[in-house]
Structure 1
Amino acid sequence: MIHNIHGFCLLLLLAWIAGCDNVHEFPGENPADPSLVEIDITMNIDMRIDLEIDMGVPASDITRQTYASMLDGDYDVRYIIDIYEADDTKKNSVSNRVKRIVKTESEIPTAGEYHLDETIRLPVKKYRMITWIDFVTKGTTTDKYYNTEDLQKIAIILPNGTYQGYNSTRDAFTATVEMDLTPYRGQRYIQYEAVAEVVRPFAIYRIITTDIDEYKTYHQTLSYASIQPNTTNVAYNLFFPMGYNAYLYAPDNFRAGIAYSYDITETAPEKEALLASDYVFVKDDTFYTIDFEILSSEKQHINTVNGLRINLKRNQVTTIRDEFLTKDLNDGKVGVDDRFTDEIIIRI
């Protein structure tokens, strides 16, 4: 009888060992299904921007200083990763999100590479990974400039219902990556590396006036402080994109009547000034036209320009320089000027 009991216990032990055959450990991790594929995610981020090419300082150094000061202050950089099951019947969208990861960091990666420190394991299927990087209020993951609930329907947030122009903290980056894990079906303990080459989803433009000296000669009896260019009111003609589809790399949510006010800053004291600047969601090469009015420090009208065309390319800066303070066209009416040829397009 005792021999039978011992034999029965031995059979139970062997059965238990056999039942454990489908559960193994990835090195240093908790037990996991070995048929799942472990995903290693890296984002390559080039944050360089040549907005200050006239200053004789390398663009990479300026960018690092700009973002370092932001992160030392009131902002963190936020990383969003959405993983969807791929559906080959849908070419323009994805719907079944299987995982969302949101991380914030207080420093930018000095080598331009962000490595996700979280283990992700997925069944053997096809996936689409959509990534979004932006800046948020320090210590939070809450949307600040963009509604990111759905990265296929990113929307610009309007503080107090007002659109704002260029602000370095509105910068953002995105990428979409296809992950086909089906070749690993039937294999065990597979590690898959997913690399996202992120880029800006928009173009940037700058409008610079070069005629402050000439403008001052028209008002020699007045102090420069009283006539100094102070504010530019900018209005986009027709429709302007207020949203972005990160899956399709395409702007959307076009709206009419978008306008903003910009605080003028002198780029060369009492000689040149930055009148207006903005981020614009784009996909292919495109252009927008704007009307703008320039006001003095005492809110007096200086000049108006109508129908200025701005050519745009994604992830590049367009700089237009001209005599916007003093130029008078079309029999005293300022309008479209075909002499606005001093346009510089710079790769970011």
Structure 2
Amino acid sequence: MKTNRLYYKLILLLALAAVSFGCEKKDLTSIDQLDDLLFVHATYTINFNSAWDNEKTPYLNVASDYDVRYTLEFWTIDADGNKNKLVVRKQVIGSALAEGNNSQVIKVDLPGKKLKAVVWADLVKKGETSNPFFDVSDLTQVKMLSIGFNKDKDAFSNAQDVDYTIYAKDITDVDVTESITLLRPFACYNVVANDYEKYITEKGNNAPLPAFTNIAYQLWIPTQYNAFAQMPQGATTALSYKYTSGPLSGELYPLASDVIFVGTADTDFQYYNFIAAVYDANSVLVATSANVEAKILRNKLTYIYGPFITTSNIGTSGIDDSFDDHIDVVIPD
């Protein structure tokens, strides 16, 4: 139902006049409250990248016992797009998305100002409201709470400017519709040994299988994401994680996997460096790599293939950019 904003303006003006009447110095800064009335009734359609329906990545696995948590923040911005003040924050738990159903409609009341709409979506178990992998209490510094892959460690985000100042002088409330498409704020990679046959040939059929892999990041890894700016932040050094390796798939042996915040104001990819140390079930070292530099792309899965269990001090190569759903990086012997 439309409400007459002129009525509320008159009431507020009278209240301000009554408070300030008789004061030696009148403080009229509260008159800004007139522009903070939430009279723009916005309907946001939250869409997911089209790869949602087609990609076959192992970390996109929303089962029926999960919901999707949407966190929205609306910030006033200046002429250059810099953030000023958080005016509205809203969190909604929506049903799990499925193939062919990759959108969610959310209604929110907003002021007649120029705003930045910031959206983050992640998974929660049914009946719960928190996610163990991301702290979204402030979308300008979303914190990743753990290192290493987990099938439920998945999220989507985007931000866009909206301008409702054209409605500021309207007497009645207004209804608007908006849409925003979300992408993953990170890339996922899988480290895969492609030298299993060579390993068995050299060590014999009774050779111990790789049981776990330690990934030690070199240089730095971002542990936060500024969803307002759509950029990683919070660079942290000396991070590592332990990953249970396997099982064998043909001649390929999966060793490790993780997701890393990716992107800058100008690019949607970054280079990250790691050393992979592979161990058997008795914690005996099988092989260790030298520094591996991998180029990973936002919202994509990168497979890093190499002779990780027979060759130490292996290097790395460039990537094949002619990908559809994922990127292959092949490290030569």
Q: Give the TM-score category using the shorter length.
A: 0.7 to 0.9
Q: Determine the structure 2 residue equivalent to 1:294.
A: 278
1:166 matched to 2:149? The reply is: yes
1:1-348 matches, cutoff 5 A:
36-46=39-49, 48=51, 59-60=54-55, 62=56, 67-69=61-63, 72-73=64-65, 75-88=66-79, 91-92=81-82, 94-108=83-97, 110-116=100-106, 118=107, 120-158=108-146, 163=147, 165-187=148-170, 188-220=172-204, 222=206, 227-266=208-247, 268-269=249-250, 271-283=251-263, 284=267, 285-327=269-311, 334-337=312-315, 340=317, 347=325
Q: 1: CA distance between counterparts of 2:137 and 2:168?
A: 32
Summarize the Cα distance change of 1:199–1:306 in structure 2 as closer, same or farther, 3 Å threshold.
Answer: same
Q: Determine the structure 1 residue equivalent to 2:20.
A: none
Amino acid in the other structure paired with 1:335: N
**CA shift at 1:242, angstroms?**
0.6
Summarize the Cα distance change of 1:124–1:310 in structure 2 as closer, same or farther, 3 Å threshold.
Answer: same
Residue deviations 1:215-266 (CA, integer Å, cap 9, x gap) = 11223262x5xx1111000000011111110111111111111000111123
Three-state SS of the structure 2 residue aligned to 1:96 is: strand
Q: Determine the structure 2 residue equivalent to 1:55.
A: none
**CA shift at 1:122, angstroms?**
2.6
**CA shift at 1:193, angstroms?**
1.3
Amino acid in the other structure paired with 1:231: F
CA contact (8 A) 1:76 1:137 kept: yes
CA contact (8 A) 1:103 1:141 kept: no
Q: 1: CA distance between counterparts of 2:314 and 2:92?
A: 46
Three-state SS of the structure 1 residue aligned to 2:109 is: strand
Q: Determine the structure 1 residue equivalent to 2:22.
A: none
Task: Compare CA radii of gyration and give the structure with the larger one.
Answer: 1
Q: 2: CA distance between counterparts of 1:76 and 1:35?
A: 28
CA contact (8 A) 1:316 1:346 kept: no
Task: Give the unaligned 5+ runs of structure 1.
Answer: 1-19, 25-33, 50-57, 328-333
Summarize the Cα distance change of 1:190–1:21 in structure 2 as closer, same or farther, 3 Å threshold.
Answer: closer
CA contact (8 A) 1:47 1:63 kept: no
Three-state SS of the structure 2 residue aligned to 1:218 is: helix
CA contact (8 A) 1:130 1:246 kept: yes
CA contact (8 A) 1:322 1:342 kept: no
Amino acid in the other structure paired with 1:279: V
Amino acid in the other structure paired with 1:80: T
CA contact (8 A) 2:88 2:110 kept: no
Summarize the Cα distance change of 1:264–1:179 in structure 2 as closer, same or farther, 3 Å threshold.
Answer: same
Q: 1: CA distance between counterparts of 2:314 and 2:57?
A: 34
CA contact (8 A) 1:208 1:273 kept: yes
- Percent of pairs identical after alignment? 24
CA contact (8 A) 2:38 2:109 kept: no
**CA shift at 1:313, angstroms?**
1.7
**TM-score, normalised on structure 1?**
0.74
CA contact (8 A) 2:70 2:91 kept: yes
Q: 2: CA distance between counterparts of 1:42 and 1:341?
A: 38
Q: 1: CA distance between counterparts of 2:59 and 2:296?
A: 26
Q: 2: CA distance between counterparts of 1:342 and 1:185?
A: 51
Residue deviations 1:276-330 (CA, integer Å, cap 9, x gap) = 1211111133211111110112322110002011112212222221222112xxx
**CA shift at 1:59, angstroms?**
3.8
Task: Give the unaligned 5+ runs of structure 2.
Answer: 9-36, 327-333
CA contact (8 A) 1:320 1:343 kept: no
Q: 1: CA distance between counterparts of 2:160 and 2:85?
A: 16
How many residue pairs are counted as aligned between the two chains?
288
**RMSD over aligned Cα atoms:** 2.8
**CA shift at 1:267, angstroms?**
5.4
Amino acid in the other structure paired with 1:275: L
Q: 1: CA distance between counterparts of 2:5 and 2:128?
A: 43
**CA shift at 1:67, angstroms?**
2.8
Summarize the Cα distance change of 1:231–1:157 in structure 2 as closer, same or farther, 3 Å threshold.
Answer: same
Summarize the Cα distance change of 1:237–1:186 in structure 2 as closer, same or farther, 3 Å threshold.
Answer: same
**CA shift at 1:23, angstroms?**
6.8
CA contact (8 A) 1:319 1:343 kept: no
